[in-house]
Amino acid sequence: MVFKRLNRLRKRRRRSGREKTLNKFLPEEFRKQLKPIEDEEVEIQRGYIKDYVTGKLFPDTPEERVRQKIEHLLVDKLGYGKYEIDVEKVIEVSIGRKKVHPRADLVVRVGVTPVMVIETKAPKEDITIYRDQAKSYAKVHKPPIPIVILTNYTNTEVWDISKDKLIAQSITGILPREKASKLISKGVRTLTTNEIEAALRTLVTFIDPKEFARVFDQCHDIIRTQRGLDARSRLYEMCKLILVKLYEEDREEKGKENRFTSRAIKKAENLGIDATAFINKSFDELKKSKLVGLFDPEEKIELKPHTVKEIVELLEIYSLRKTREDVLGVAFETFLRGMMTGRELGEFFTPREVVEFMVKLVDPQIGEKILDPACGTGGFLIWSFFHVLEKIRNNVTDKDQQERLIEKLIEECLWGIDIDSYLERLCKINLKIHGDGYRHIYRGNSLDIINDDVEPEHEEIRKELKNILEQEGGFDIILTNPPFGSGRGKDITEKRLLEKYENGKGKKRQIPQILFLELCIRLLRPGGRMAIVIPDSILNNAGKDYRKIREYIRKNAWIRALVSLPPGTFNPYGSGVKASILYVQKKAPNIKPKDEVFMAIANYVGYDTRRKDYRQIDKNHLPQILLSFKKWVGN
């Protein structure tokens, strides 16, 4: 018993480096009877596992355990020697000025000839999201590797790279050494330059949204050097180039040449065609095939050839299509935020931290129709798209049903209106970049479309909204941040508009946010939900108009939550108005709400609200407020 205790004490001291001190004071007869403690034993006890092939120690994780099972299978059952298995094989990748060094979990050889790349994942992990990455490892390896295997030991995919064909979906599909030897004796198809370049771009996809945003910022800096372009024009030209890059990546997926490359531009220049004219050929194709109605037929990319060349050189190494939707979304939103900070464009922008919180607060469900009547750049619609898309992928197992629901989400469920034609177009571009559609994004004055007495330019929107109001009772969800402001030049003074609203009738003027609140409640179906950013004056101003709109809200909707935002929330975007988030549900006879109202104060929202420029900070109360709300409602 004494020696067991001493050994345990020695192990603890060994970890802290003090074992020799303990041994020094033990009697000689005790030291002789103590068991030796191996370094390997101590390390493994500290959460490491010994690699079967190399003998190295790796952290003991679920993913590592799967790799060890595969290594045992390869050596013990399938006939490979340990010397024929490379663990965490570094693959040198260089494209343009970018160099990366990804590691393949296992590269299996027959002698010196590589035959399989194996990527192992944790047992519950979705292996399909790593498919393109694993295939790219095989394609860029020198020489190319013919077989790719992805496995979490429960699910397995075996791919023939030369045919891009799935040949097995079981762990038994991993090739024995004898069969692998016959395969390589037949020779492996040589990959084309385009195939290798596409694989290289896949390996240089963006994982960190901040890195993505930095590259976009560099592109903007290049465009900024071209004189004669204001902030709106610079952003617009950048969006055109991003759309062209996405289009060329789609063409590349179909086996066609990617023309958004320095190599393609150089070939064109040798024929006397400058970079701008060459990229505009792609833009013209794109307008006619994928972006019908978004751009004017004669519209071109208005950048100088040297500017286009620099941006192509910067972006060509990356794959936007292979970048995860949420990463692309955060990155482009970060880029937009940088462009829109300040008064020039800032009033049209709502920070992602606030948008994401509001979307999760109302929790859009599959099939629900969502409207933003002051959509700006489309932030609420994009994050609603991501939110519902995740629900479809997590809750619907049938792939065909998934596709139908995603198509319905894109074609029928996301609606936006903005009075500014530039913002309406930018919203459509933003949605397109994120894989969404723009079928129901309109330019118009939302305050005019509440009844049939509309301006001629609003007749199409009114017809569409009227169908929803008559057939479905209104929208399921409204998410919005209407423009703040009151006083000369901002109040609504047009009599025809004022007479459309309870809170405008008989008045000479009214502040727009009061009319927006009434508009949104009227556009909701009974039981529909709305989260809206409102100035605190709506809540606490003692004026007659403010009292009346509060009474209107209480009469027509149940207030479910009120979240106070910190002073300066919109400082980086040119507005110093103190604001809150109001969450209401339109009254319906079949719904019995709680008698209480959930109320919270957010002192921090993830960025420094004291600054006039956007700077992220670690403190953000909104996620905890959301958890508290979900607990309060019993969800």
pLDDT digits (tens, 9 = 90+) for 49-99: 999 999 999 999 999 999 999 999 999 999 999 999 999 998 877 665 666
Q: Which two tokens stand for residue 136?
A: 């790219």
Model pTM score:
0.72
Q: Is the dihedral of CA 501, 507, 508, 509 positive or negative?
A: negative
For 491, the token pair is: 């109040």
C-alpha to C-alpha distance for 521 and 308, rounded to whole angstroms:
47
**Alpha helices, H only, 291-345:** 305-315, 325-340
The per-residue pLDDT for range 443-486, each reduced to its tens digit, is 999 999 999 998 999 999 999 999 999 999 999 999 999 876 54
> What is the C-alpha to C-alpha distance for residues 484 and 513, in angstroms, rounded to an integer?
7
- pLDDT means over runs of 10, the chain (635 residues): 50 47 51 47 65 92 94 95 93 68 90 93 86 86 90 93 88 93 80 73 62 78 81 85 90 87 92 95 90 85 93 85 67 65 51 90 96 91 92 88 91 92 86 80 93 91 93 96 65 91 92 93 96 91 92 94 88 70 94 87 83 76 94 83
E strand intervals along 466-576: 475-480, 524-535, 557-564
**Do 203 and 324 form a contact (C-beta atoms < 8 A)?**
no
d(CA 223, CA 307): 6
State the alpha helices, DSSP H only, in 49-208. 62-72, 131-140, 177-185, 193-203
> Residue 172 in contact with residue 164, Cβ under 8 Å?
no
Token digits for 225? Answer: 């050097």
Instruction: Identify which of 104, 108, 137, 109 has the alpha carbon closest to the alpha carbon of residue 121.
Output: 104
